[in-house]
Amino acid sequence: MLQVKNAKAIHTMIAYLKKIDDFMKQLDDSILAKLNDCSSTVSFKKGDYLLRQGHVCRQSFQVLSGIARKYMVAGDKELTTEFFFETDVAISFESYVMQTPSNEHIQAITDMSASVMDYTAFQHAKAQYPQLAELDAMLGDYYAVWLEKRLFQFHTLSATERYQLLLTNQPELVQKVPLTFIASYLGISLETLSRIRARI
């Protein structure tokens, strides 16, 4: 049931994903029941917001179907920071862990449904079941490693190289998400992205 960011798996991280996966499979039924207790299924329509900039992120959303994106508004531009596909857990990380107002929106870009878990309820569950705290830590570590990879890409790769990497790592993303969002996710203009694609 609970599964992690397969879509973002880069080769070197697969082992760690498997470790998390195995860990979850060995969880006691009482723990799984507890998790079920804390969560409920919610549907969103294309364009709906799961979280709005300025609000505290008090829930996590595990995508059951559809696609969401996380973005911030900087000046007059939108900056897409992450996409969420099936099984991905969508939160505004800083807002979630610090329980401060988010500087990001999370929005459904297709009709979608998600398993919504309350922050406070999950904190209590963690206190009750140390294994959940462990799981939470592993997920956080995974996110940090993912961020390191993404940072490395911005640090070293050209626009074209970043796009090609996305194309090989997440081809389905490129097919299902509007180019406008992809461009801002890659940190390039829509025009440049269009030219890069024409050149291939």
Contact footprint for its own copies (CB under 8 A): 1, 5, 9, 12-13, 15-16, 74-75, 79, 81, 93-94, 97-98, 100, 103, 130, 133-134, 136-137, 140-141, 143-145, 147-148, 150-152, 154-156, 187
Q: Name the minimum Å distance from CB 155 to DNA.
A: 10
Q: Which stretch binds DNA (CB under 7 A): 7-15, 36-44, 116-124, 187-195?
A: 187-195
d(CA 148, CA 145): 5
Specify the length of the chain in residues. Answer: 200
**Which one, of 137, 166, 135, 174, lies nearest residue 20 by Cα?**
135
Taking CB under 7 A as the binding criterion, the range among 2-10, 96-104, 120-128, 189-197 that sits at the site for DNA is 189-197
Q: Which is nearer to its own copies, 15 or 200 (CB)?
A: 15
Contact assessment for residue 53 and residue 104, using Cβ atoms and an 8 Å cutoff: yes
| Residue closest to 111 by CA, chosen among 158, 77, 66, 60 | 66
Site string for DNA, 152-181 (x = CB under 7 A): ------xxx-----------------xxx-
CA distance 76 to 93: 23
Beta strands in the chain (DSSP E): 39-44, 49-51, 59-65, 68-74, 77-84, 89-90, 105-108, 112-118
Smallest separation, CB 100 to its own copies (Å): 5
Helix 179-186 to helix 190-198 angle (10° resolution) is 100
Q: Residue 9 Cβ, how far from its own copies at the closest point, in Å? A: 8
Q: Which is nearer to its own copies, 10 or 64 (CB)?
A: 10
Residue 21 C-beta: closest distance to DNA, Å? 33
